[in-house]
Amino acid sequence: MQDDQFQFAATMSATAEHGALLRTARKAQGMTLEEAAQRTRIPMRTLDALESGEWERAGAGVFVRGQLRSYGRLLGLDTSGWMEEAPAVEPPKLVSHQRTPMAQRFVDEIGRKLVYVVITLTIGIPVWLMATRSPVASLPGETASLEVPRTVASTPVQPAAQAQGAQQPQHQQAVAMASMAPVPGQAGVPAAALSIRFDGESWMQAYAPDGSVIEKGLVKAGESRSFASGQLGRITLGNASQLHVEHAGQAVDLTPYIRSDVARFAVSSDGTPGSVSN
């Protein structure tokens, strides 16, 4: 123990002596520590540790040797034998003294796996139930379709002789069954003269024939717009490549009206697209 302490004291004394020699040589050349760091490309804190004799702050022995060699070459000093005279103090090594027992490691591993299984079942079971459940719950009893065609019950035509002697005329009875199908051609609902389907996100500026704004802003993908005859005067559509325009059920070619993927066209009273007049 005493030999180790003596060796450590000798090492610190030698490094302090060599460090003082480095500082004296640097100052004799009128060089600051910052200038020396720039010329050697060694951090200032490392050069300060070398000049202070605290070489353990400069790193491991192999790094200290290289730094001393570069610094000595700059100052004109021969530092080749310094490391043998005063070896650098190696930084302390961290040694873990904690040892986990084999049984505890096994229990921890099983616990992690159980947590993974529980999380998987917690997420997977609801998803499986939703995927396998019928979207329409079965109802008790019999179900009947409302799409029943209209039927007309009538009495057979009686012969002419029986019709003359009959006291009461036979009447036809019509039974109207409920239907959820839409009735075509309802009165008061104008048919769409121009319809637009937005397959991608876009923006729209729609104006009435009198110049008033009908709609102006962004339109999300999947939405659509319909305009009746005489409702629309002109329209501007962004992201025109992601649009589908129809007039009276027929697709409209927007190529003549597109500039830089923006379509601008006027709309006649019957919904026919046309060029915008300047």
**What are the tens digits of pLDDT across the range 146-203?**
554 554 444 444 444 444 444 444 444 444 344 444 444 444 445 678 899 999 899 8
**Domain end residue (candidates: 85, 109, 143):** 85
Q: Please report, for the domain that includes residue 10, its CATH number.
A: 1.10.260.40
Helix (H) or strand (E) holding 263, with range, is: strand 262-267
Please give the mean pLDDT across all residues of the chain: 74
Q: Give the pLDDT score at 209.
A: 92
215 confidence band (pLDDT: 50, 70, 90): very high
Percent of the chain whose predicted confidence (pLDDT) is above 70: 67
Residue 259 included in any domain? yes
Residue 63 included in any domain? yes
CA distances from 265 to 63, 96, 253, 262, 272 (A): 76, 78, 11, 10, 10
**Domain end residue (candidates: 30, 54, 85):** 85
**Domain end residue (candidates: 32, 52, 85):** 85
Residue 185 included in any domain? no
The structural domain count of the chain equals 2
53, amino acid identity: G
Residue 260 included in any domain? yes
Q: Give the pLDDT score at 147.
A: 52
Residue 181 included in any domain? no
Residue 56 included in any domain? yes
Across 9-16, average pLDDT: 63
Residue 8 included in any domain? yes
223 confidence band (pLDDT: 50, 70, 90): very high
Q: Give the pLDDT score at 212.
A: 93
Handedness of CA 225, 229, 231, 234 (dihedral sign): positive
pLDDT at 3 over 70: no
pLDDT tens track for 246-267:
988 889 898 999 988 899 989 8
Q: Give the pLDDT score at 210.
A: 92
d(CA 238, CA 258): 9
Q: Tell me which residue range forms the domain holding 17.
A: 2-85
Residue 180 included in any domain? no
